[in-house]
Amino acid sequence: MVDRNTHMGHLKGCLEAWLSAFFEVDRVRMRFRPSYFPFTEPSAEVDINCAWRDGALVVGEGDDWLEVLGCGMVNPRVLSACGLDPDEFQALPSGRGSTAWPC
């Protein structure tokens, strides 16, 4: 998604909705840790809350954390290479891997 008004909060909301649906829980707590990926800026690793119960991993409950993905906003240099002004536009990655970008 390329837009003049998108921001990291939109990415967080998309990830929260997707992770809740994927793990079939009403809500999943997330934490974002700064990271580095060459095609995103800012970049983060995402952890979700979990617990171990009777030898099974339970997502969406507890105080333990499970790293599930890396994410970030499209790097301004990528936008420039696509002919877009990074001072005017921001973008969310497509989610299909680090080589699949919205341009």
CB within 8 Å of 60: residues ≥ 6 apart: 20, 23, 25, 26, 27, 28, 29, 48, 49, 50
- Model pLDDT for residues 12-57, shown as the tens digit of each residue: 999 999 999 999 999 899 999 999 999 999 999 999 999 999 999 9
- H/E segment holding residue 48: strand 40-53
Q: Between 38 and 94, whose confidence is greater?
A: 38
| pLDDT at site 99 | 41
Mean pLDDT of 54-78: 94
Q: Is the pLDDT of residue 65 over 90?
A: yes
- Strand 90-91 and strand 2-3: the pairing is antiparallel
